[in-house]
Structure 1
Amino acid sequence: MPQQRRQRTGSLWSMLSALPHAASEAVSGLAASWHNSGELRRSKLPLDWNEGSVRSILCILDRTAEGCRRERDARHSRFQAGVDAPLPGSKAEDLVTADHLLIQRIQEMTADRNRSNVTRTQAYLEIYLEFPELHWALLAHLVSRNAGWNMTDLKGGLMSDLTDAAFKLNMYRFLERCNALIFQDAYPQLLLYKYSREQKRSCFHLLPWFHVSAFMTPFWERFWIERSSGVLSVALIINEQNYIEGRVVSHPFYREQVLQHPYLKIHEWTRLNQILFPLGDSRCRHELYKESILPLRPLIGLTVQHFADPSSRIKIGKSLYGMLFGYKRVLEGALHFVNCTPHLGSREEYWPALFTYQAEGSMDAPDESQALLQSEWLPDGQRLYSPRLLQVWEDLEYESIPRYDWYQQPDMLRHVSKPSLPYFVDMTHRHRSSLERTSMAHDAGRWLKGPNT
């Protein structure tokens, strides 16, 4: 038997022999996650939710749904004619000089911070730290971190071998456009609140000048009075998912080239559709995991299912919000992580014992699954390659954003309800198992391609 053939056969048997061990690890990990989730749920925080305010806002939105539809139709026709103006009813002559200056300042700040996933993610954190009542900003920061990790996965050491170059580019464009459009819509709203606080006056009459849906106006106006963080956060979750629905998710190109592409099934099978919130400092083991077999920073989170369905995305967003602000230990751990760990897009940020952003110091072997199954962590020079975002992707220019108000029908109002607190929140072992599955797929792919891959 030729030497190369013997090596390939040995690698195949190594992968097959590892399956029982991987299954055993998954079972023990499930038990550990169940226990750890219970520990995290011990200390709960009250979610700030004013049911009276919600009922009042829903009455307003229900009555104005038809008016919003008419405004959308009128505004859409104006943009088809090449007229870029705010929603009908907003006239420049009605604004004072200070408003004109504020609009210009917010537009410039938004454009500057919308350069990349890295700058957006940092901008969310900065405004949350300045105004902690803006709960959604911290949630957006953590979810945006995940978007960056998913972008760099496409050029990382495991996933890069499982898809072709065209899908990688299209997937990156999809993730980047969703990330950028949400920021384009939400960040001016957060800045309006910031300057309302600084000027001690409500500036939310300027929302239409940033093409913000009429859906958000009563929520911001009530938040200015009552500061009900939970109600505003749920409204922003609903708004942003509907904002990207027509502009990106249901776009024919992204439907065909990303969401319906066979390669997307690989992402789902390997569970890289997990949203992770790391807890604490990577240099210290979390007190919850002192007896864990994994000397790693703990992770909590959820798995995204049915991304193409906006209602499913809203449900996940509300669950993530409930998990983050409903459990004391989760919130404290997440804040510890974001304050001590800058976001650059590499998964090394949360598990430096397994990942490295340096290509020359990473593992490049046909049996990476064996290394992951045999060791709790990987030694320096043999870790999984997870590059930083700006190492592997450049900023892209996109077509102009379609300007219309998504809120035409009141059907989305059913989602305006108090978030529930997820029961099974620990993701540490499940994420480790997902890496093992990905590495097995990676090794199998290299085995099928032959010894020179």
Structure 2
Amino acid sequence: MTSTRTDSSSEQHHGSLLQMVRSIPGAAREIWRGKQAAWQASAQLRHPLRDIEWDTDTAAALQSEVERLLPANGKSFARTDQVQSALVCEEDCIILEEIKTLTQEHNRSNITRTAAYLACYEQYPELHWALLAHMVSRNGGYHMTDLQSDLMHNLQNQSDREHMYRLLERCNALIFQDAYPQLLLYMNSRRIGRSCFHLLSHFHVSAFMTPFWERFWLERCSSLLSVALIINEQNYIESRVVQHPYFQKEVLSKLAFHLHNLAGLNHIVFPLGRGAGLAGRVIEHFGKLDERIMFGKGLYALLFGIEQVHSQVLEFARSVPHRGSRAEYWPGLFTNREDEAGEHTLYAQELLDEEWLPEGQRLYSPELLSVWGDTPYEPITRQDWLQTRDCLGYLTAPRRPWLFEMSHEHRYGMLKTALAHDAKAITH
């Protein structure tokens, strides 16, 4: 009897292995087919273009202003360690308290942050960065829930999943804590008809941002402000997250992190509608500051430099509330209900055979709040990242990418994940 069970198990294992091997040539064909489709779709989406207004003289003037703010004689610049003692009036005090309260309220989770960014953009559309932040924050939520999804649940242990979640959540929360008060200061400035940017230091915002906000108040140079915010936020998380010993040890140096790049953690996608195509970019090296900044500038140019992308993404953002499930943009592949998901053992061949999966057979992509709770953190370090002029080289006009239609590449990322999942399932 034991021999019969062993033979049956061996045959089942052999059959599963054979099924996985058969799916590999199909995966290779999918790469070539996807590249061709992406070029064609990108060409169709690329026109009409939107003007990315960029004033080179203004950028040069602001660069000079930032250079004057740099610490002299190599001394460490620590303006944000202690709030400057500039006099504030009663109205300013009220604004400060309101912004602190709102920031704490909306920084509870990825869901509340993402919604807050969109609300800023809807009220003041010249705040381009707020829409970009909304879309990137959506992706942050998707990546968090992927950790508990069907395709990835067997690729890591629970400890590795929690470390990865903390990395994603920490980046999301820190950027919001730094940027949202800046957006609210602008909104209050519009409301009362005077600049409130002398209050930036009360929120420990880098001195780098002050000249950009003051100029934006006068000239509404949206693209220049957006690039400055991209530079600022990536520098802000560099020492606090990317180079932090905890995340270096527990996440960035581990194989699990590279598995996530395999799975599409390095994909940022902009849905062009529910069940429709995806625009976006792929970042190769998350750990490199310069690459993250250039990546952000490319995303900005894609979102605000191409009319079809901008209009379709904005319509999606307005019509589909963010809950963190990939079913929001590909309901033909994903479901946010575990009881409606298929009971698959292997996934790769099915994803190759079918563009969409029938009801009852879809992949489980949970909503964020159903699988991750709110996460407390240690106090944030308050040093100003602006210590050298290295950041000034990024103050250049954003360039639109040529190849940006991501539907096939993102689908192929899922297929690679499925192959990894299937290989793990067969060997365990």
Does TM, scored on the shorter chain, surpass 0.5?
yes
Q: CA deviation at 1:6?
A: 1.3
Match of residue 262 from structure 1: 255
Q: Check the 8 A contact 1:90/1:209 in 2, yes or no.
A: no
Q: CA deviation at 1:25?
A: 2.0
Q: CA deviation at 1:270?
A: 3.1
Match of residue 245 from structure 1: 238
Residue type of the partner of 1:101?
I
Residue type of the partner of 2:35?
L
Match of residue 85 from structure 2: 90
Q: Check the 8 A contact 1:68/1:214 in 2, yes or no.
A: no
Alignment pair present for 1:5 and 2:17: no
Q: CA deviation at 1:442?
A: 0.6
Q: What aligned pairs does 1:94-113 form with structure 2 within 5 A after superposition?
A: 94-113=87-106
Task: State which of 341, 358, 362 in structure 1 corresponds to 2:337.
Answer: 358
Q: For structure 1, which segment, 59-68 or 298-307, has the greater mean C-alpha deviation from structure 2 after superposition?
A: 59-68
- What is the CA–CA distance in structure 1 between the aligned matches of 2:137 and 2:94, rounded to whole Å? 29
Match of residue 407 from structure 1: 386
- What is the CA–CA distance in structure 2 between the aligned matches of 1:298 and 1:189, rounded to whole Å? 33
Q: SS where residue 162 of structure 1 aligns?
A: coil
Q: CA deviation at 1:305?
A: 1.5
Q: CA deviation at 1:75?
A: 5.7
Q: CA deviation at 1:423?
A: 0.6
RMSD over aligned CA atoms reads 1.4
- What is the CA–CA distance in structure 2 between the aligned matches of 1:398 and 1:222, rounded to whole Å? 34
Q: SS where residue 208 of structure 2 aligns?
A: coil
Q: What aligned pairs does 1:148-159 form with structure 2 within 5 A after superposition?
A: 148-159=141-152
Match of residue 116 from structure 1: 109
Deviations 1:122-166 (A, max 9, x none): 000001011000000000000000000000001111111101111
Task: State which of 344, 356, 363 in structure 2 corresponds to 1:377.
Answer: 356
**Percent of aligned positions that are identical:** 47
Deviations 1:10-29 (A, max 9, x none): 11111111111221122112
Task: State which of 50, 59, 64 in structure 2 corresponds to 1:45.
Answer: 50
Q: CA deviation at 1:70?
A: 5.0
Q: Check the 8 A contact 2:206/2:384 in 1, yes or no.
A: yes
Alignment pair present for 1:173 and 2:177: no
Q: CA deviation at 1:67?
A: 5.2
Q: Aligned pair in 2 of structure 1 residues 68, 147: CA closer, same or farther (>3 Å)?
A: farther
Alignment pair present for 1:64 and 2:69: yes
Structure 1 unmatched ranges of 5 or more: 77-84, 283-295
Alignment pair present for 1:145 and 2:135: no
Match of residue 419 from structure 2: 440
Q: Check the 8 A contact 1:37/1:426 in 2, yes or no.
A: yes
Match of residue 387 from structure 1: 366
Residue type of the partner of 2:359?
D
- What is the CA–CA distance in structure 2 between the aligned matches of 1:118 and 1:388, rounded to whole Å? 10
Q: Check the 8 A contact 1:174/1:254 in 2, yes or no.
A: yes
Q: SS where residue 300 of structure 1 aligns?
A: strand
Q: Check the 8 A contact 2:270/2:279 in 1, yes or no.
A: yes
- What is the CA–CA distance in structure 1 between the aligned matches of 2:114 and 2:264, rounded to whole Å? 23
Structure 2 unmatched ranges of 5 or more: none
Match of residue 14 from structure 1: 19
Q: CA deviation at 1:271?
A: 3.0
- What is the CA–CA distance in structure 1 between the aligned matches of 2:294 and 2:242, rounded to whole Å? 16
Match of residue 326 from structure 2: 347
Match of residue 208 from structure 2: 215
Q: CA deviation at 1:42?
A: 2.1
- What is the CA–CA distance in structure 1 between the aligned matches of 2:347 and 2:283, rounded to whole Å? 26
Residue type of the partner of 1:174?
L
Match of residue 193 from structure 1: 186
Q: SS where residue 72 of structure 1 aligns?
A: coil
Alignment pair present for 1:35 and 2:40: yes
Residue type of the partner of 2:202?
W
TM-score (norm 2): 0.96
TM-score (norm 1): 0.91
Match of residue 234 from structure 1: 227
Q: CA deviation at 1:71?
A: 6.9
Q: SS where residue 400 of structure 2 aligns?
A: coil
Task: State which of 287, 296, 299 in structure 2 corresponds to 1:320.
Answer: 299
- What is the CA–CA distance in structure 2 between the aligned matches of 1:211 and 1:90, rounded to whole Å? 13
Match of residue 299 from structure 1: 278
Aligned length: 423
Q: For structure 1, which segment, 358-367 or 239-248, has the greater mean C-alpha deviation from structure 2 after superposition?
A: 358-367
Residue type of the partner of 2:9?
Q
Q: Check the 8 A contact 1:68/1:408 in 2, yes or no.
A: no
